[in-house]
Structures are given as structure tokens and as C-alpha cells.
Structure 1
Amino acid sequence: MDINKLEDFVKTKHHLPEIASEKEMIENGIDMKDFQLKLLQKTEEMTLYIIQLNKKIESQNQKIELLENKLSKNKG
């Protein structure tokens, strides 16, 4: 799921996709095996988001460095 869609989902539903809400967990109980598998899936998704964000940050840092170099050459 796209990070922006995920944000919208969490804002409206107040829980992660594929994870039951607190109310549902209290009312229906929790299958621990299923819950742990879903938590592992969410951990993997977060890891992929972090990798994607890190690549974006690295790209932006390279652009900033290039712009700073151009700026310092223009000043000198």
C-alpha cells in the first residue's frame, strides 16, 4: 500500500490494515499465531518503507551537495 494511502487508512480507521481494531480484539479475542504473522508482515512493510525513504534521503542529500558546490563556486 502506498504510504499516503496507509496514512489515510490509519487516520480514518485508527488501526493498521489487516490488523483488527482494539474493539474487535477485545470482543473477539486474538488468534496469537495469526496475529504474530500479521505483525511480522507489518514489520516487513515498515522495513520496505524505511529503505524507500532512505533512498529518497540519499538522493536529496546528493542534490543538496551538488547545489552547495555550485553555490560556493558562484561565490568564489
Structure 2
Amino acid sequence: MSTLAEVKKYIGANQHLPGVPSAEQVAGDGIDLLKMNATLLEKVEELTLYSIQLEEARQQDQKKLQALEQKQAELEQLLKQVLSRK
């Protein structure tokens, strides 16, 4: 499976998704519905996998954010203690 960056680059260069016929190809050759259904199912599966990857990354980022917020709260409390001693 290509990375999203690779897919974006391909779309930018070719104006259509990888593995999907271009509008010109469809206009000239028509559509093989069986093949197109299989291709579309493949794209749905890829999108599902990308979504899962993004959700996993989001959850990791959320955990990191919570840890940073906790550390910030601890540091703020420590700073208050230090400043109150003066």
C-alpha cells in the first residue's frame, strides 16, 4: 500500500487515483464494471487502513499531550513553591 504522500504525488502528476482509469481512458475504452467494482473495493480497503493508521497516531498524540499537560502542571506547582519561599 502506498503512503498518502505517494498517493498525493501520483494524483498531482496523473490527475486520478493510482489503479483507477483516467477520465480519458474511460471515455475511450468504456468501463469494465467488474474490474471497476474490484478496484473501488480495493480503494475502500486502503481508505479504511489509512483511517486506522490515523486513529492510532491520534491516540498516541493524545497520550503524549496528556503526559505533557501533566508535566506542565507539575512544573507550575514546583514554580509556585519556589516563588513562595522567597
The percent of aligned pairs where both chains have the same amino acid is: 29
Q: Report the TM-score when normalising by structure 2.
A: 0.85
Report what 2:32 is aligned to: 31
Aligned to 1:5: 6
Residue 11 of structure 1 deviates from its aligned partner by 1.0
CA distance in 2, matches of 1:61, 1:25: 44
- Can you list the C-alpha shifts for 1:20-70, whole angstroms capped at 9, x where unaligned? 001110111001111011000000001001101110111011000000000
Residue in 2 that maps onto 1:14:
15
The one-letter code sitting in structure 2 at the alignment partner of 1:55 is: E
Higher relative contact order (CA 8 A, sep 6+): 1
Q: How many Å separate the matches in 2 of 1:15 and 1:44?
A: 18
Q: Secondary structure at the match of 1:18?
A: coil
5+ long unaligned stretches in structure 2: 78-86
Task: Tell me how many residue pairs correspond in the alignment.
Answer: 76
Unaligned runs of 5+ in 1: none
User: Highest Rg: 1 or 2?
Assistant: 2
Q: Which residue of the partner structure matches residue 48 of structure 1?
A: 49
RMSD (Å) for aligned C-alpha atoms: 0.7
TM-score normalized by structure 1?
0.96
1:57 — aligned with what? 58
AA of the residue aligned to 2:13:
T
